A = this chain, B = another copy of it.
Amino acid sequence: MVLRRLYISKITLYRLCLYARELRRLVAEGEQIVSSEHLARACGVSPAQIRKDLAYFGHFGIKGVGYQVEDLLGELEKILGLSRERHLVLVGVGRLGSALLKHWGANHSLYRFVAAFDSRPERIGRIVNRVMIYPREQMGYIVHQHQVELAVITTPAEAAQEVAEELIQAGIKGILNFAPITLQLPEDIQVENVDLSLFLDMLASQTGR
């Protein structure tokens, strides 16, 4: 079967990843079959939405029965391209950055930090959870050498844009950005923004006055 690269909108992509997460849990629990209704409830979406999302890529279900959990997860991982390991780097080993390095466990098996970078001399050479901290100056070289694809930016806002540009120069294709700033980057570079203050603003706004 040919797996042509169909267009997936960001919002659909998010849901597909959500389904995959839930399916992994179901596999771990030994479930064999799941209906769109059950999966929908577990993911906080509508059953029709799930069926639409999935049917776009093929016929994965059994009418009158549901979806076979393992099969569907396999299909989703094929669609999403989540089968091989990716190399990551982290830039900015402050409190948040080092917490993320330490926090990284076996549960994130597909993503492996191969290096971290910081500009403060006193941090260089330290090892956090098996990840070595290198000086900022070596970033481009190491990213390039290790064919790193994804980067996590946990620098202050002021440094983030410059860091991002340098990472892209070195071949990075996707960035998880914790800095509270909108990065100005080429269209083909993927960015996910995680600004905790922004999330709190949204919550605060929705919850009172």
Residues of chain A touching chain B, judged by Cβ–Cβ distance below 8 Å, are 8, 10, 13-14, 16-18, 20-22, 25, 41-44, 80-84, 86, 88, 94-96, 98-100, 102-103, 107-108, 110-111, 149-150, 173-176, 180-182, 184, 190, 192, 194-209
Alpha-carbon distance A72/B174, docked complex (angstroms): 33
Minimum distance in angstroms from A190 CB to a CB of chain B: 4
Alpha-carbon distance A76/B100, docked complex (angstroms): 33
Is there an interface contact between A202 and B13, defined as CB atoms closer than 8 Å? yes
Taking a contact as CB atoms closer than 8 A, the residue among B182, B184, B196, B201 that contacts A20 in the complex is B201
Taking a contact as CB atoms closer than 8 A, the residue among B13, B100, B202 that contacts A206 in the complex is B13
What 6 A-B pairs come out closest when comparing CB atoms? Answer: A99-B99, A174-B203, A173-B207, A81-B209, A174-B207, A80-B205
Alpha-carbon distance A184/B41, docked complex (angstroms): 8
Alpha-carbon distance A107/B102, docked complex (angstroms): 24
Alpha-carbon distance A192/B194, docked complex (angstroms): 11
A108 and B197 contact, Cβ closer than 8 Å, known pairs A13-B202, A96-B99, A203-B175: yes
List chain B residues, Cβ under 8 A from A209: 81, 83-84
Chain B residue nearest in CB terms to A157: B25
Is there an interface contact between B21 and A204, defined as CB atoms closer than 8 Å? no
List chain B residues, Cβ under 8 A from A22: 182
